[in-house]
């Protein structure tokens, strides 16, 4: 064997079975500086490395201090052993952590899904799973004209409750936000889920809760608030606004209040609107019956008395002396709801029904196809009969659109006209999700989620992450309703 071969073999150090190279992703890293060398062989500074399947490390040794090299080798051995022990200990711990984090991720996903359902999807599902949900899907033909009927949104303001001292207080803003957001969610869902299928929108009065007594500056702010809730970006949809007693009062209020309503909503107090050059929508100011330009005078000058063409709108319902056809009063008694038919009553700024003689005059002058009213906050279907003329017509009093008007059922109506046959195809009332049920579900969800996180993960870090994720999801849902839509 030549001298050079012997020298090369002498400088070749086999790796012991206990030697390790720091692994990355389960494989030995070829460039790792952490290697273990045999202490029985002379150690020299690495000058050139040639590896073959990681079996040998070939070293060519320049001149250097042997003691310094030996101490460096020992230090590297110690570091490598410490790292190996550390990774052996961390491996089961990391698996446990990732397992817990995986469970927590699934929990967060479920929590976020529940919030998205309560904030967004539940308002969409009412058109799919609610009773009569197929009514609109059957009316998508171009021959149908669908009218959205909204009664008594009655925006809550600082005069609505005695404990609201200012419209700018934290409590007032919180109540306004909850109520306004709820109405906006429902209104925008109606338009989006029935895109190109809503052709006219009619508000049946009481747009504000105290529009008759607030100042001009307050009225302007309430008007901007109203438009932000009932924002309609489709210019092809015609919107009509009927005044209510909470908007302009009864008889005694200054004329300025009436003019202000007409100015902002661009709708006369008495109006008529034609659909398909056939149907006449007649809106009357039922709060001012004895002044100049009263409904009887307006109708006699502007409306033809033709059967089956007129649709009469009145905020205050016509006189009735019987029960609503759609109400099971025995069931209402069991549910602690109102158990008697609407009774006549009148006070400061309100009136439950029009007088019987005035109601009769309106019916005889218009012979309407249908009568639509509001004010009572609860849905009622009542049949008026003119026995001497052999004429009868149904009046539909729409429910309130607001969650804060003393009723557990709030909703809206859809009136469908057939433009080919010039007949009324049908009318249907839809009830919105109950906001108090949503709040109750939030309460159960909060308690259940808190108990689960605390007892399952036993860490405030996980609890903080869950709370932050829930709040962020809720805020993004509000951004969706107010900015994206």
User: 341: pLDDT confidence band, cut at 50, 70 and 90?
Assistant: low
Q: What is the pLDDT of residues 84-118, one digit of tens each?
A: 666 565 555 454 544 555 678 888 888 999 999 99
Q: What is the pLDDT of residue 460?
A: 83
pLDDT for 151 beyond 90: yes
d(CA 142, CA 420): 10
Q: What percent of the chain has pLDDT over 70?
A: 72
d(CA 274, CA 278): 7
Max avg pLDDT among 194-198, 307-311, 317-321, 457-461:
317-321
Average pLDDT rounded to a whole number, residues 444-457: 87
d(CA 411, CA 394): 19
User: 255: pLDDT confidence band, cut at 50, 70 and 90?
Assistant: confident
pLDDT higher at 115 or 351? 115
pTM: 0.74
CA atoms within 13 A on the CB side of 160: 18
User: 245: pLDDT confidence band, cut at 50, 70 and 90?
Assistant: very high
Q: What is the pLDDT of residue 128?
A: 63
Q: What is the pLDDT of residue 34?
A: 41
Mean pLDDT of all residues belonging to the chain: 78
Helices then strands, each counted (H, E), the chain: 13, 17
CA distances in angstroms from 477 to 11, 40, 77, 113, listed in the order given = 70, 70, 57, 11
238, two tokens = 């015609």
Residue labelled with tokens 């996980």? 462
Q: What is the pLDDT of residue 127?
A: 67
pLDDT for 442 beyond 80: yes
Average pLDDT rounded to a whole number, residues 48-75: 51
- Identify the structural domains of the chain with CATH numbers, from first to last: 3-95 (no CATH), 140-432 (3.60.21.10)
CA atoms within 13 A on the CB side of 323: 10
Residue labelled with tokens 């509001």? 374
Span of 107-116, 285-294, 311-320 with lowest mean pLDDT: 285-294
> What are the respective helix, strand and coil percentages of the chain, to the nearest 5?
40, 20, 40
Q: What is the pLDDT of residue 101?
A: 56
Q: What is the pLDDT of residue 88?
A: 61
β-strands 238-242, 310-314: how paired? unpaired
Give the DSSP per-residue string, 257-290: HHHHHHHHH---SSEEEEETTTEEEEEE-TT--S
């Amino acid at each position: 064997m030549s001298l050079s071969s012997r020298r090369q073999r002498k400088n070749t150090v086999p790796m012991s079975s206990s030697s390790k190279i720091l692994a990355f992703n389960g494989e030995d890293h070829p460039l790792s500086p952490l290697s273990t060398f045999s202490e029985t062989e002379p150690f020299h500074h690495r000058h050139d490395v040639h590896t073959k399947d990681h079996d040998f490390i070939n070293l060519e040794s320049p001149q250097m201090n042997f003691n310094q090299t030996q101490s460096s080798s020992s230090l590297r051995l110690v570091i490598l052993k410490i790292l190996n022990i550390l990774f052996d200990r961390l491996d089961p711990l990391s698996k446990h952590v990732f397992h817990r984090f995986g469970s927590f991720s699934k929990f967060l996903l479920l929590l976020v899904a529940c919030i998205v359902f309560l904030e967004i999807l539940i308002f969409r599902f009412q058109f799919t799973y609610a009773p009569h949900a197929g009514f609109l899907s059957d009316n998508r033909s171009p021959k149908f004209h669908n009218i959205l009927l909204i009664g008594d949104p009655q925006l809550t303001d600082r005069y609505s409750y005695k404990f609201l001292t200012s419209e700018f207080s934290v409590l007032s803003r919180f109540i306004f936000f909850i109520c306004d957001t709820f109405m906006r969610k429902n209104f925008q869902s109606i338009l989006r889920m029935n895109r190109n299928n809503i052709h006219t929108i009619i508000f049946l009065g009481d747009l504000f809760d105290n529009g008759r007594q607030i100042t001009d500056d307050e009225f302007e702010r309430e008007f901007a608030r109203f438009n932000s809730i009932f924002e309609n970006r489709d210019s092809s949809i015609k919107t009509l606004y009927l005044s209510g007693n909470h908007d302009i009062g009864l008889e005694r209020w200054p004329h300025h209040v009436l003019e202000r309503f007409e100015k902002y909503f661009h709708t006369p107090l008495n109006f008529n609107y034609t659909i398909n050059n056939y149907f006449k929508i007649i809106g009357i100011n039922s709060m001012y019956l004895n002044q100049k330009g009263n409904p009887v005078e307006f109708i006699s000058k502007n409306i033809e008395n033709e059967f089956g063409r007129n649709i009469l709108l009145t905020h205050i319902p016509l006189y009735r002396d019987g029960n609503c056809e759609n109400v099971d009063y025995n069931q209402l008694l069991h549910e602690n709801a109102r158990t008697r038919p609407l009774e006549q009553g009148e006070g400061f700024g309100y009136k439950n029904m029009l007088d019987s003689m005035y109601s009769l005059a309106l019916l005889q002058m218009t012979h309407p196809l249908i009568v639509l009213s509001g004010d009572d906050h609860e849905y009622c279907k009542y049949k008026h009969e003119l026995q001497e003329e052999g004429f009868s017509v149904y009046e539909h009093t729409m429910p309130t659109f607001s969650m804060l008007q003393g009723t557990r059922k709030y909703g809206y109506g859809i009136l469908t006209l057939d433009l080919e046959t010039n007949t009324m195809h049908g009318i249907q009332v839809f009830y919105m999700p109950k906001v108090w049920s949503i709040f109750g579900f939030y309460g159960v969800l909060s308690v259940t989620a808190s108990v689960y996180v605390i007892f399952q993960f036993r860490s405030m870090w996980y609890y903080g992450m869950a709370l932050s994720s829930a709040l962020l999801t809720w805020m993004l849902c509000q951004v969706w309703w107010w900015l994206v839509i």
